Amino acid sequence: MALDPESVDSRPISPSELLRVNKIRRDFVANVSHELKTPATSLKLLAESLEDCIDEDPVQARFFAGQLKSETERLAQLITDLLDLARLESQEQTEYPNLVDVRIVLMTVLARMRRVARRKDITLLWKRFGKAAQYTVLGDETQLTSMFTNLVDNAIKYTPPGGRVEVTGGMDEREIIISICDTGIGIPEGKLSRIFERFYRVDKARPKATGGTGLGLSIVRHVAENHGGRVDVESTIGEGTTFTVYLPRG
């Protein structure tokens, strides 16, 4: 079947745009290679250590087995996030055919995350929506679940034990507005503009301790934009961070 010439964007790419695209591609490949190499190297070293002590020191062997499991889970999460991000970046804003109730999505996410919060002694609060209002959007339930899971998980990770994470919802005439507010360590003002970039980390020492992949907030941004919405952030060092998601009402 012949292509309609008018349906193909034949505008030439400028040299500067081509250089920019090539740089983004090179940086992405370099970042992915680095991020995959780190857990892969750890897995190799842990497997060798486990092999050395499995017969003579069962206690140490169990320790290395636990570390091996942790690194395997980290690698699996990184691969999952990479696949999710690649799929989201290949989509432009989509006309979704199905209405999704944001309340149900949040109930599912919060029920799943309560156990994580309890293990860290974090109070996870939800200010429930009014029953009369229609909190629905035209969207993809899986993507929306991923977005809110990443935001709540991040809030828990970066909030010290004894802290609080609060999810609130509201709406105006056009949008559903969801806020995830924590009492965590906060983000420096000068770095707020970059936190949605792939692999960008405010503190490079954090990911090992928190298990983060550096892709969660990039996924959040793409999900919001694919649904015709946006996500904003406000933060104060030592006091906490608030992410606010705006989604067009369905």
Whole-model pTM: value is 0.66
Cα 34 → chain centroid: 19
Nearest CA among 38, 80, 40, 27 for reference residue 197:
27
- In this prediction, residue 183 carries a pLDDT of 94
What does the pLDDT read at residue 47?
A: 81
Contacts of 21 (CB under 8 A, 6+ apart): 13
> Residue 122: what pLDDT?
94
User: Considering only the top CATH level, what class is 99-248?
Assistant: alpha beta
Q: Contact 175/246 with Cβ under 8 angstroms? A: yes
How far from 143 is each of 5, 55, 148, 180, CA to CA, in Å?
A: 34, 46, 9, 17
Residues paired with residue 235 on neighbouring β-strands, in sequence order? 241
Amino acid letter for position 67: Q
Backbone angles phi, psi at 100, to 5 degrees: -120, 130
What is the model's pLDDT at position 7? Answer: 41
**CB-based contact 169:249 (threshold 8 Å):** no
CA angle 52, 58, 45 (to 5 degrees): 35
Domain 15-89 shares a fold with domain 99-248: no
pLDDT in the model for residue 178: 92
Question: Which CATH number does 15-89 carry?
Answer: 1.10.287.130
Long-range contact set of residues 226-231: C-beta below 8 Å, sequence gap at least 24 = 226/88, 226/91, 226/92, 226/93, 226/94, 226/140, 226/143, 227/93, 227/94, 227/96, 227/137, 227/138, 227/139, 227/140, 227/143, 227/144, 228/93, 229/175, 231/196
- CA gap 236, 18 in Å, rounded: 38
pLDDT value, residue 164: 94
Query: What pLDDT score was predicted for residue 181?
Result: 94
- Cα 58 to Cα 45, 53, 236: the distances in Å are 18, 7, 46
Q: Which residues contact 239 (CB under 8 A, 6 or more apart)?
A: 183, 186
Counting as low any pLDDT under 70, the low residues of the chain are 1-14, 16-39, 77-78, 81-95, 130-133, 198-214
Would you list the domain boundaries of the chain?
15-89, 99-248
Per-residue model confidence as pLDDT tens digits over 131-182 = 656 788 888 888 898 889 889 988 999 999 999 999 998 888 889 999 999 9
